[in-house]
Every structure is written in C-alpha cells, then in structure tokens.
Structure 1
Amino acid sequence: MLILRHNTLPSDELFVIECKMLKVADASQPLDGLIDLVLLDMPRTEIYGYMLGLFERLDLCKAIGITSSELLDFLIDVDRGYLPNAYHSFYHAADVTIVLFAMLSDYDAKQYLTSVDMASLLIAALCHDIGHPGKNNNFQVNIQTDLAKRHNNKSVLECYSCTLTMDLLTKHQLLQHIEEASANTGTPTTEAEARISIIKMILATDMIFHYELQENLAGLLEIISDRECTETEKEEGANRECGHGTAGHCKGPQTWDKPRIKDIFYNRNFTNPLLYFESKLHKSISGPIGGSEHPSTPGTITESPATIHGSTNHTGSVNLLQTPDSANDGNCLSPCKLLSKLEREVLCQIMLHAADISNALRPWSICKTWSNLVCVEFFGQGDAEKAFGLPISPNMDRGQTTQATISLKFGDYIVNPYFEIFAAVFPKSDRLLQLLAENRKEWARLESNESAANAGHTAEEGGIEGHLPPKILPDHPILDPAGRRVSTSAGMIVIPSPDEMERRTVGFGKAQRTYWGVRSASHSEVPRQNGPHSYILEEKKRRKSEEPALYLRKLQLNASGRRVSPAEATERKAKRHNSTVPSSASSRQDNKPL
C-alpha cells in the first residue's frame, strides 16, 4: 500500500498508481514496445505507476534503500517542479526515462552498470529539465537573467535543474540509506558520491558537451571491445583466435598510449558549472541548496516550485573533479562487467544524452508529435527574441525555417553519427537507426511539399553563423567547431565545417562503425598503435575534392533509405557525370555542392 508523507493524493488515484506499478514491475510478464510507448495521452496516475514499476522491475528502490511510497512522494514533487511548457515538461522527463529503461533492458546496457548506477541514472532522467522555462541557455545569457548571472553564463538551465534536484533529494532524504543499501549489493556508494554522479549527468545534457560525449562513446566502444576480447582469451586460451582476427595479441587497457575517455568536468576554473555545487557537498546538506531566490526576469522562471526543506546526516569533504588521466583507470572494475567507476559514470552521461535526443529515432507518430512541441517552444523563443530586440536564434524564426528542415538537420548531423557508435556498443539498438532512416524519408517528403517561400529560407540562411558565444562556453578546451549554429530541443550546438571533420572507424567485426568526428578532439586525434579496432584517420593532406563534407554529403541515403558509403556515393556520381556530355550550364549544376 502506498503511503505519502509530503504530498496527498485521493485513495482511488493511489490505487490506480499501485495497480500500474505492480503490472509493470512483474518480471514474469514481457514489457515490450517501450520505444513505441506514447505518454502524452496518459493521465498522471498512470505515468506515476509506470515510473514506479520501472524502478521495481530492476529492484532499484532496494538498491538505494527506499520504498515505493518514498519514490512516489519524490516523483510528485519532481512533477510539480516542471513548468507547463510545450516540450520541456514532465512528460518529456518521463519519456526520456522510458527510453533509458529500454536501453538498459532491451539493448543490454544494464550489463555494464550497477544497480546504484541505474537508480542514479533514472533519477537524473526524471529531473534533468526540472524548472526549465521553455527558453534556452542562449536566451538566458543574452538578456542576462538572474539565473545566467548566478551561474556565470555556463550551463545555466542545467545548473538550475541540478539545484532543484538536490533540494528535492534533501527534502525527501531519498539517499540517506544509500551507503548501507549499496554495500549489501557489493558496490558501496556514499550519498555524496551519488549526488555528484546525478549532478554530472544532468550537467552533461547541455548540448555544449555533445561532441565530448560522442568521443567518449567511441572510446568506450574500444574499451569494451578490448576487455571482452581479453576475457575471451582468459577463458578459452591465448592461442585461440579472438574476434579481432589475431590470436594472443589482446593485452587489455595497457596497450593504449592515451586515455580513451575523459571526465568532461575535470578543470578547476571558477566558471566550471560543477564547482557551483562542490562547496554545497563539503558540509552537511540542510535546507535548499539554491536558497529561496527564484528569478523573475522575463524569459526565465515565472512560477517556481514550492520552497523545499529537509536535511541529511551525510558529512565529509568531496572532490567533484577528476584529472584527465584518471579517465584511463582500468582498476576497480564493476562486479557486473568490465567497466571502472569513472567509465560507468561516463556511460551514464552518454546514455542520458542519447535518450534526451532520441525523438528523431522513435516511431514516426511519436517523432512527429514531439517535433511539433519542439517547434512550439522554438518559435515562441524566436518571438520573444524579436520582442527583446535580439537576433533570432537559428531554427527559431517562424518566417525563415520549417519544421522539416529543422528535423532533417537534427537527424542527419547530430543524431545519426552519435547513434551509429551507440549501436556499435549496443547492437540490439540498431532498430533505432532504421527508424531514423524511415523518419528521414517522411521529413524529406514533407519538406518537398512545403511552399517555395518557406523552403527557400532555411535556418542556415536565416540563423546566426559562427562559433557559439564564448561567454556560454566552458573555459577549458572544448570541441567548438567553426560551423553553423543550430538549435536543438536539448540546446544549441555548432555543426562542424567540412575541414574540421575526419572519418573514423571504431570497433571490429559486426560492431565496426564509421562516423565523422571532430578533428580537434584532444583524446582522439592521435592514431592508436597496435590496436586492431583503433581509429582509422584519413590523411590530413588531400585534394580539395576529397575533403570531408558535412555528414549527409558523405553518408548519403539512397531512395530506399539505405545508407550509402562515401566510396559508393562517389562512384555513382562519377557514373552520372560520364553518362552525358555536359553543357556549360549543366557543368555548373554538376559542380554545385550537394
């Protein structure tokens, strides 16, 4: 029976919640089609029951020492912390949580994580956009809201979501028993460590870190492939040929000369968003972390969650930051499989970001519905920027861009490269790439049907080009391509220019994938030595005609939606060119960029 301490719900609603929870939690019954699940039509009671059921199905409440009633109490307050935005609402948070559960269960990601990791991941998913005002970081910084000033213009809304999350964890004392509970599972974790992990996950949802996370994902693919091969050799003998195709060569992490992943929050500069929370965890946490201040500047939070109070008995000094070299620590592997603590932490950040940008590769009806809601917020921000006399952000001018154009660029340049690597790590998720290709055909069809006036003004022409504003970037080196700025549902990102990209191949065998990475990636730019699944980098000196173009130009789609290799695309173009004798006009057309 569910009993609430901080909130009240009618008994009939509690009954509905509990029935749904028990149904979803029943491991003897299959829980299929999570990627196809539509939450927007569900009443709150069903969503609450679904969330509780997911935690119970993986036994995550027990892992952190709470009851389902305590989780429900927390969940209700999380829901109240979300504002009634078109897209960044509690429905989005619950949807991201559903996608993550599918990744854990259906795509086998849980084999690399502990129960505490998974519990922290789902809590971070539920809270990752709490308090979001429906207008992005760039808007907050441009009009210098209270939030932007408080957080030094860095990851403004992510920091605010972290603050509200920590306040709720304190109010509900949700992690006060985690050390004892986690010790029983063989992975002792303090409350401070769990809070740090959740904070990092939420901060990493800032699109500023997209390419860092993509490079870390490629690095994890190498780590997992290398260690799985090593384990196979241990079990079956070093003389047996492993999946790499060579007998007896795999030596584990020590064969690599550089760290293959890095903590994206390693610097100690005062503008690092993580440092805002470090002092909060050096002493006992009592009362709301963020204080009672709530911004009232137009465009920020106009209605704030209720004041949150509570305390926890955890004390101690905490260092939230890792050195870059610590990312290569292969010791202290998890009892579940293969990964160290830092590697599991990075994997959680990668997965939360993947779920946050997953709308493009959901079934078409779901993809289109979420895209509709994204555009409501985008064009609303564009209208507000116009009212403030600000330049309108890319993709947000309702008169100069279209929904189809926004969705095509988002899928081609951001989602596809990221999930190509993700599917190499988790092969069962390959269906997501198939859905992305199917959705692309639908968006292309819609784009072709739009009026010539709208189709002639894309976000690339009407938006602001160049680097992201330096004031919103972290001060440590970060992948900041000199391409065009593009707004996405999760924030603003720069699409790299062709000369900043290079073709990389990661993995081996069925897990081998090719993607276009940013050349300035500090932990990927040096070719690996003696590694069968090392990065294969294209020569940096090449003819202009061979320079890598944007992702879609090289990884084209044929009429059926199948991905065409760059070599095949070049061969087809050559055949088309040689089949006719072009006039001067057609020659100009042939030379036009794709």
Structure 2
Amino acid sequence: FFSAWFGPIVIVHDTGIVQFWSVSSVSNVLPKESKRRMRPMILNFERKDTNHKPTGGTFTNNGKFASPLEPLENLSDSQTPPALHEPETAHHDRDHKNEPLSHDWLKFLPPLFTSCPDPTGKTLYISALVVGQGLYMSAIDLNGVCYTTTLNYTEVDRIRPMQQDFETFFKAMEKQFQERTFRVYRSGAKVMLILKDDICFSLLHNDDTATVMWNMVSDVLESFSLRTSDNSAEGVVQLREQLERLQNDINEEIARKKVLQSSITRSEEEERQNMQKYGSLQNEAVTLTQEWQQMCEAMGLDPADLDNPLPPPASGSYGRQPLATDTRELDISLLVLLKSKYSPANDESDRFRELESPKDRWLKVVRPLLSNEYKTQMKNLPEGKTQLVMKCMEKLDEWDFDVWTLQDMTEQGSIFYAAYAMFLRWDLFRRLEIDEQIAINFFSQVEAGYHPNAYHNSMHGADVMHIVHYILLKGQGKEKLQLKDHDVLAMLVAAMIHDFDHPGLNNNFHIKVQSYLSTLYNDRSVLENHHLAEVFDLMKTPRFNLFHCLKPEHALDARETMIEVVLATDMGLHAKVFGAWKRRLAQNHTLHKRKDDQRLALSMCIKMADISNCGRPLDMYLKWSTKLVEEFFAQGDNERARGDTVSPFMDRQQPHMGKGQVAFMNYVILPMFESIGEYLPEMMFAVDIALTNKAYWKQVE
C-alpha cells in the first residue's frame, strides 16, 4: 500500500505477513515483471527511517494526498520480507486496464484511500476506484485479510440518493473518505461500509491477498504517475498558449476599437466642417440671389425666367477656374538666387537694359546676379529658410533630392520652385524664348490645382518631375533618345501636371460609383484624361499658355507627347504598356529613330518616376509609402461609409502595408526597373535600392 509519494510502502504478502518498506528496498525484492512496471515510477524515492509516520488518503486533482491515515503499528524498516510473487493463476475480479471511461460522471471520482478501525479496533485500509465497468472497492487489514466488491453502473445508480446527481454523489463520497465520517462493520467474511444517508457498500472476503494488494499498490502508483506525468505540463503549456492567443485577440479588438473611435471622431469633425461650409454656402446663395435679382432688374429681365439665362462670354475657360490672382506670392530674393545659380547674368546689361527682343523674355520678372556677386551673396547668406532651400537645390541633379524640405521651406511651394529651377537648369527660358511671367503664372496655377491629399498632392508632382529630370539628365535619356528642347519641355510639364486636380480617389472608385468623370471619359483612364483636359483647358488662356513660344508643329508634337505619357501612368494599362516596351526592346535599342518608339520610352520614364518611391533611399521611401497607405485608408473609409466593399489594401481595420509593398515590388517595380536599366544602364542602381527596401519589409514581418 503506497502511503505517500515520498514515503514507504506497506506490502502484504500472500503469507499474511505485513512489512513496512522504503521504495528502494521494495524494488530489490519485487518479481521481474513487477520491477519493470514499478521502477520508472520510483527511481527518485529515498529510504525513510522507521520513525516516519506514513500517511494516506485521497489523490486530489493536483496530484497531492489529503487526509492522513491511522499510524501503522509494529512495522520495522530492517525486516527482510520473503520474495513477493504475483500468483500465476490469480483471480482478478476486475480488470480496468485499457478500458475507456464511457460515462462523463466517472471523471468526478479520483482514486480514494483511507483507513478506519472496525468495531474490534483493528485498522482497515480501504480503497475505492472507478474502473471500466463501474466502481471497485477493496479493504485490507494488517493481518492480510482482504475484502472486495465491484458495482456496475446500474448498481451504483440504485444506491445513489434520488436528490443527488452522480457528480454530487461522488464528491460527497470523496469528502467522507477524507474526513472519515463513515462507519465500518466486519462480520466474518463480510465488511459493511456505511456512508451518510445510509448508503451501504458490502465487501466480501477475498482469499487472493497478493492480487488484491498488488492491484491496490499499482492503482496508487499508476494514479500518481498519470497525475505527475509530462501530460500535465503539456496541458499547462497549451493553456498558456490559449491564454496568449486570447490576449492577442483582445489586443486586436482594442486596436480595432481605437480605429473605429478615431474614425468616428474624424467623421464628427468632417460633419462639423461640412455644416459650417453648408452654412457659408447658404449665405453665399442668398447673396448671389440678391445680386441676380439686381442684375435682372438693371437689364430688364425676369429673375424667375431661367429658361433663357445670360449668354456666356465669347471666350474663356469652362474647365477648372484659375486662382483669383495669376501667381502665388513670390519670394523674389529666392528666385534671384536660383536664376543666378543656373543662369547668371552675362554682363551688367542683363541686369539693367530695356527688354525689347523676344530673347529677353527670360528676364521679364527676375534679373540675375553676376557669377561673382552670386558667390559672394551665397557666402554671406544668413541661416534660415532661404539657406535651407539653396542647400536643397544643391541636390537637384541627385537621386535623393528632398522635396519634403523644399515643401516646408517655401510655404508649400515645392512644385513651383522645383519647376522654376529645372527650367533654368535646362536653360529652357532662353533656348525656347519662354516668357518668364507666363511660366510663373502657369507654375502657380498647376501648384494650386493639386488638392491637399495625403499622397497625390503638389509635392508628389514635384517629386515625379524631379525623377523625370534625373532620368533625362543623369540617366542619359535625353542623349540616347536624341530629344529636342520642346521634347524636354513636354516631359517636364507632363510630369508636373500628371496628377493635376487629383481627388484622392482612384479610377476604380470613380468607375464603381459611376461618377461624372467616369461617365465623361467612358471608364477609360478616367483621372489621367481629366488631368490632361484640365491643364489643356487652362492653357487656352494666353497668360497661362506655356507653349506660346513653340512653333505650331512643335506645340502639337509636345501636346501629343504629354497625352501619350500621362495616359501611360494609368496602372490599369501597366501590363499593356510594359508588354509593348519589352517586345520593342527585344528587337533593338535604337528607339530614337521613330516617334512612336521615342514616346514609348518616354512613357516608361514617367512611369518609373511615378512609382519611383520604392527605389528611393529608405527614409524617403517609408515617408512616401506611409502617405500612400494613408490615402488608401481614406478611400477605404469612404467606401465603407457608402456601404461598398472596401478595396484591397485600403481597409484600415485590416492593415497589410508590408505585404502589399512586397507584392508590388515583386510584380511591378523590380521587373520594370530592370527593364529600364537594360536600356539605360545608368538607372540600374535603382534595382539594388528597391531590393534593399523589399528586404526591410521581410525583416519587419
């Protein structure tokens, strides 16, 4: 009888002799089969002295004993027991090995062990164990007299009180075993175990003492082994993993809640602003109505007769209305430094003479300094915004030109000052005899035509224009394609205006909601057609017509080039344009001989510039990609508010920025950059930068 996991074992032999042994001693005298079965469970036990008081009771769910047994008497650890053999023909009145527990209530009763004196004062050791066919109980005294019984489920159910279910019944039974609140009577070949509510178990004498004792010991050890095995540790690990998963789910829900709260706050703020705008529009409507009535009275017309409105003016633009003033507020001192840097005055006459010839149009607004004056002024330039802008312009011909700093230091004027500097850098003012005032007017209107979107704003226009400038200059695109001055002009203007009046919602959105623009352009490159149409409409006004200086055939050629390359920026046409490029490049690289081939190459240049962020230095790339995702999420919010399906990668509740960027690089950026690098080897470095940026997302993931 195994009295405690750290203590001795009581062994009752078939001879009736009771011995008190430590586990290490027992392992030396058990039969071979018994040793094999017990040794793995007892290797860590140590011998205890004879003064140790063994304890027994119930194995609880945490593997510990409860309720001490009565002290065992007259046992000596020094006694040597005879050999203990399990009888070859032992009669087992229960066999619970490998039998599944077919009733859920069986799990409520762990193996029970206790002791109790019978009416004669002799101590009985009693065990109860659930087995496959029911409840097995055994009792044994110190003289080796054994009693056993087995009750099937029906018999257990018969003695169970009607008001108790099985769980309550067995828990009550377990408690009584622990507290010894039952009574025991022994009469001849029978032992009566009487529990509360007069529940009676009758155990009959069993002569097979060795088998009964062996089963009792093995049941205890097996129970302990099961309760202290690695399965318990695995169960704890599994529970911890489940807890961690649940905590992650909770954190995700909290994050989703914050996103929703932020969206609600933003919606409330937008609603407040819209209500203010609505109030302002109502006031304007009242004012316009009054003015209309006054005008009609002055002209003798009926204000209510709307079928015959006033005739429109004979000429003018019917597209996007220009600014109230032709130009933005200019920083003349900065413009002087920029012009002096790239086109310094040849002599004093450039600074003071009367402007009479068309060749003097480039001096119409700003007169440059002489070279030595410029150097002196730059040397003494105080710290401040102007110094930062000029420092930024030092990298105008470099891949890492910083439009972010330019935007901040010029009152959101990156596209204006970058365009002015690039026209000077290419000497287009003088070579094409461009009227400087018209150019300044045009740059101002284009800058004003960009909306304050997160990504498609004037800074993006300036950035794309700079990359086109870089490809034509440092990438040797102009030289290899043998471009003329009006071709360079067309490309810089196309890059500058390629997202003019972009609403921050892509083509798919317009087509899905059937907006006015999608209807106007028949779902074909909706925004790209709109950008071009708005700018060409603007250029109908003479003071904004940047092509005023070109010959008619050159102006038409520049217009057709602009249309070709801006439409190519529609990513819906990427496969078509890129496929045509690869097929043409596979033939030969002499693309300068035919205008169509030349424009195809220029289309690839502006396409690379439009999505060049993936090939820019990591800090710039992350800024642009974050802004792009921000604009995507804004469209996703719009779609969700409309009840539409949120477009891929535009759901702020399920952000996949890294995944989307890696996929875009794999399927669009890298193949296109490599192909352009094949034609312009000086651009191949962008492939390496794109691979570095792609590796960043893999590290983050």
Match of 1:199 in 2: 563
**What secondary structure is seen at the aligned counterpart in 2 of 1:34?**
coil
Distance 1:167 1:32, change over 3 A: closer
1:560-594 CA-to-partner distances (Å, cap 9, x unmatched) read: xxxxxxxxxxxxxxxxxxxxxxxxxxxxxxxxxxx
- Asked if the contact 2:592–2:598 (Cα under 8 Å) also holds between the matched residues in 1, the reply is no
**What secondary structure is seen at the aligned counterpart in 1 of 2:404?**
coil
When structure 1 is superposed on structure 2, of 88-97 and 40-49 the one drifting more is: 40-49
Larger Rg: 1 or 2?
Answer: 2
**What secondary structure is seen at the aligned counterpart in 2 of 1:36?**
coil
- Asked if the contact 2:454–2:631 (Cα under 8 Å) also holds between the matched residues in 1, the reply is yes
Q: Does 1:433 align with 2:687?
A: yes
The letter of the residue matching 2:470 is A
- Asked if the contact 1:117–1:345 (Cα under 8 Å) also holds between the matched residues in 2, the reply is no
- Asked if the contact 1:64–1:119 (Cα under 8 Å) also holds between the matched residues in 2, the reply is no
Alpha-carbon distance in 2 for matches of 1:213, 1:167: 27
Alpha-carbon distance in 2 for matches of 1:48, 1:164: 18
Higher relative contact order (CA 8 A, sep 6+): 1
The letter of the residue matching 1:356 is D
When structure 1 is superposed on structure 2, of 374-383 and 437-446 the one drifting more is: 437-446
Query: Which residue of 367, 379, 398 corresponds with 2:621?
Result: 367
Q: How many Å apart are 1:204 and its aligned residue?
A: 1.5
Match of 2:334 in 1: 16
For residues 38-57 of structure 1, the aligned pairs below 5 Å read 38-42=402-406, 43=410, 44-45=412-413, 47-57=415-425
1:73-109 CA-to-partner distances (Å, cap 9, x unmatched) read: 1010001111110000010000000011110111110
Q: Does 1:129 align with 2:499?
A: yes
The letter of the residue matching 2:610 is D
Match of 1:167 in 2: 537
Q: Does 1:350 align with 2:668?
A: no
1:243-295 CA-to-partner distances (Å, cap 9, x unmatched) read: xxxxxxxxxxxxxxxxxxxxxxxxxxxxxxxxxxxxxxxxxxxxxxxxxxxxx
Distance 1:209 1:47, change over 3 A: closer
1:286-321 CA-to-partner distances (Å, cap 9, x unmatched) read: xxxxxxxxxxxxxxxxxxxxxxxxxxxxxxxxxxxx
Alpha-carbon distance in 1 for matches of 2:468, 2:397: 13
**What secondary structure is seen at the aligned counterpart in 1 of 2:453?**
coil
Alpha-carbon distance in 2 for matches of 1:430, 1:190: 32
Q: How many Å apart are 1:25 and its aligned residue?
A: 5.6
- Asked if the contact 2:446–2:500 (Cα under 8 Å) also holds between the matched residues in 1, the reply is yes
The letter of the residue matching 2:512 is N
Where does structure 1 differ by over 6 angstroms across 4 or more consecutive aligned residues?
A: 26-30
Gaps of 5+ in 1: 181-188, 228-336, 449-594
Q: How many Å apart are 1:220 and its aligned residue?
A: 4.5
For residues 423-572 of structure 1, the aligned pairs below 5 Å read 423-446=677-700, 448=701
Alpha-carbon distance in 1 for matches of 2:487, 2:324: 26
1:88-135 CA-to-partner distances (Å, cap 9, x unmatched) read: 001000000001111011111011122211110110111110111101
- Asked if the contact 2:615–2:687 (Cα under 8 Å) also holds between the matched residues in 1, the reply is yes
Match of 1:89 in 2: 457
1:352-377 CA-to-partner distances (Å, cap 9, x unmatched) read: 11110111000000000000100111
Q: How many Å apart are 1:176 and its aligned residue?
A: 2.6
Alpha-carbon distance in 2 for matches of 1:427, 1:36: 18
- Asked if the contact 2:415–2:443 (Cα under 8 Å) also holds between the matched residues in 1, the reply is no
Q: How many Å apart are 1:405 and its aligned residue?
A: 1.3
Query: Which residue of 476, 479, 484 corresponds with 1:114?
Result: 484
When structure 1 is superposed on structure 2, of 405-414 and 195-204 the one drifting more is: 195-204
Alpha-carbon distance in 2 for matches of 1:403, 1:19: 41
The letter of the residue matching 1:392 is V
Distance 1:339 1:405, change over 3 A: same
Q: How many Å apart are 1:45 and its aligned residue?
A: 4.7
Match of 1:59 in 2: 427
Q: Does 1:408 align with 2:662?
A: yes
The letter of the residue matching 2:488 is M
**What is the TM-score normalised by the length of structure 1?**
0.52
Q: How many Å apart are 1:26 and its aligned residue?
A: 7.3
Query: Which residue of 64, 73, 79 corresponds with 2:441?
Result: 73
**What secondary structure is seen at the aligned counterpart in 1 of 2:547?**
coil
Distance 1:104 1:22, change over 3 A: farther
Q: Does 1:154 align with 2:524?
A: yes
How many residues align structurally?
Answer: 325
Query: Which residue of 540, 543, 548 corresponds with 1:176?
Result: 548
Match of 2:514 in 1: 144
- Asked if the contact 1:24–1:50 (Cα under 8 Å) also holds between the matched residues in 2, the reply is no
1:53-86 CA-to-partner distances (Å, cap 9, x unmatched) read: 2122223334544133322210100011111100
Alpha-carbon distance in 2 for matches of 1:390, 1:46: 36
Q: Does 1:216 align with 2:584?
A: no
Alpha-carbon distance in 2 for matches of 1:36, 1:48: 19
Distance 1:9 1:355, change over 3 A: closer
Distance 1:121 1:389, change over 3 A: same
- Asked if the contact 1:16–1:49 (Cα under 8 Å) also holds between the matched residues in 2, the reply is no
Alpha-carbon distance in 2 for matches of 1:356, 1:428: 18
The letter of the residue matching 1:124 is A
Distance 1:24 1:98, change over 3 A: farther
Distance 1:26 1:142, change over 3 A: farther
The letter of the residue matching 1:388 is R
Distance 1:369 1:25, change over 3 A: farther
Match of 1:378 in 2: 632
Distance 1:71 1:418, change over 3 A: same
Match of 2:160 in 1: none
Q: How many Å apart are 1:195 and its aligned residue?
A: 1.7
Alpha-carbon distance in 2 for matches of 1:9, 1:130: 17
Q: How many Å apart are 1:338 and its aligned residue?
A: 3.7
**What secondary structure is seen at the aligned counterpart in 2 of 1:100?**
helix
When structure 1 is superposed on structure 2, of 195-204 and 85-94 the one drifting more is: 195-204
Alpha-carbon distance in 2 for matches of 1:414, 1:377: 20
Alpha-carbon distance in 1 for matches of 2:493, 2:328: 22
Distance 1:426 1:46, change over 3 A: same
Cα RMSD (Å) of the superposition? Answer: 2.6
Name the structure with the higher helix share: 2
For residues 229-244 of structure 1, the aligned pairs below 5 Å read none
- Asked if the contact 1:131–1:161 (Cα under 8 Å) also holds between the matched residues in 2, the reply is yes
- Asked if the contact 1:104–1:110 (Cα under 8 Å) also holds between the matched residues in 2, the reply is yes
Alpha-carbon distance in 2 for matches of 1:164, 1:431: 36
Match of 1:7 in 2: 326
Q: How many Å apart are 1:163 and its aligned residue?
A: 1.1
Distance 1:176 1:39, change over 3 A: same
Gaps of 5+ in 2: 1-322, 346-370, 372-392
Q: How many Å apart are 1:7 and its aligned residue?
A: 2.2
The letter of the residue matching 1:39 is V
Q: How many Å apart are 1:8 and its aligned residue?
A: 4.1
Match of 2:648 in 1: 394
Q: How many Å apart are 1:190 and its aligned residue?
A: 3.6
Alpha-carbon distance in 1 for matches of 2:623, 2:333: 30
